[in-house]
Homo-oligomer: A and B are copies of this chain.
Amino acid sequence: MLSFVNDYSEGAHPAILEVLTRTNLQQEPGYGDDVFCASARDKIRTACADPEADVFFLAGGTQTNQVVIDSLLRSYEGVVACVTGHVAQHEAGAIEFTGHKVLTLPQHDGKIDAGELDAYVSGFYGDDNHDHMVFPGMVYVSHPTEYGTLYSLAELEALHEVCSRWHLPLYLDGARLGYGLVTPGTDVTLPDVARLTDAFYIGGTKVGALIGEAVVFPREGMPEHFLTMVKQHGALLAKGRVLGIQFDALFTDDLYTRIACNAIECAEVLRAALDERGYRYLVPNRTNQVLVVLEDERLAELKRSVAVSFWERVDETHTAVRFATSWATRMEDVEALIQLL
């Protein structure tokens, strides 16, 4: 049975396990005060070209979104997000759990539009009754988005400009950032992300780590007493080394982007085959999530040999599914999949 069901089906890149094993009995302080976290922070600062960046390691994506958003918002503010954003749809209300509303904007292939954001905020302050409404307090984007699409540099710069003008922190969910950074045609680099946002995270769980996300607050932007807020959210690991070791390995010799390339190469080969056979995409993209529209009969047949993710019903007889590749995908499995298509 082949599986393209998601990008977190395997463990970690072997280089990570090697370091975990090699350093296992080294005694280190807890809560992120260990040498591995320190080293990983330095390497991430370098990769971001921001020597002043604050870096904090957390365990998972929803947790990271919850903690970062709650720590950046005042109590009467909400987070502006795309209607299809992860925080709006697939986090079981983790944002609302902390008392904040997710204020939604329309999606354009999974992205929000800077002009629409500006119009929304402008309309908010133009409304006589806005004191009775949730204030927009920050902006959330994901890159790649839920549909595997990417912001262009111009789009990110436009969002940055609008956010700066309205004093709204811009936060970027990079659960799959590694894949986005090496996607053909993208003009957005990690230093761009650091320069144009106020907070973002570099996803580990889906890009080679066992668990872990590296939160970056560019320009010393970490909220005061962030560690205490992390603890209060139940998100502080005693053995911070587990996260530090992984990101230290991932940011040594460009491992993070190198392994991301495997996912993209596999996806490109798959897409070429799909294109050739005339398949249609739900939303075209060139990252590691291939969203294909299939006839239901065809899908039923395929599922006998391949595990995929249901994405959404398209019409009476068609369904969109996701083929996800990852750092761990074997090209031979892609070829086997292509045979089946």
Instruction: Give CA–CA (A63, B233) in the complex, Å.
Output: 7
Instruction: Give CA–CA (A292, B229) in the complex, Å.
Output: 32
Q: How far is the CB of A294 from chain B (nearest CB, A)?
A: 16
| Interface residue from B94, B127, B237 paired with A232 (Cβ < 8 Å) | B94
The total of chain A residues at the interface (CB under 8 A) is: 77
Q: Is A43 located at the chain interface by the 8 A CB criterion? A: no
A29 CB contacts on chain B under 8 angstroms:
5, 9
A92 CB contacts on chain B under 8 angstroms:
76, 131-134, 228-229, 231-232
Q: How far is the CB of A32 from chain B (nearest CB, A)?
A: 11
Q: How far is the CB of A20 from chain B (nearest CB, A)?
A: 6
Q: How far is the CB of A39 from chain B (nearest CB, A)?
A: 16
Q: Which residues of A contact B (CB under 8 A)?
A: 3, 5-6, 8-12, 14, 17, 20-21, 23-30, 59-67, 70-71, 74-76, 78, 89-94, 96-102, 127-129, 131-135, 205-206, 210-211, 225, 227-229, 231-239, 241-242, 310, 328
A-B contact pairs, 29 of them (CB 8 A): A3-B27, A6-B30, A6-B238, A9-B28, A10-B26, A10-B27, A11-B20, A11-B239, A20-B20, A60-B234, A63-B234, A63-B235, A70-B75, A71-B75, A75-B75, A78-B93, A78-B96, A90-B129, A90-B133, A91-B231, A92-B133, A92-B134, A92-B228, A92-B229, A93-B232, A97-B233, A128-B310, A133-B228, A211-B238
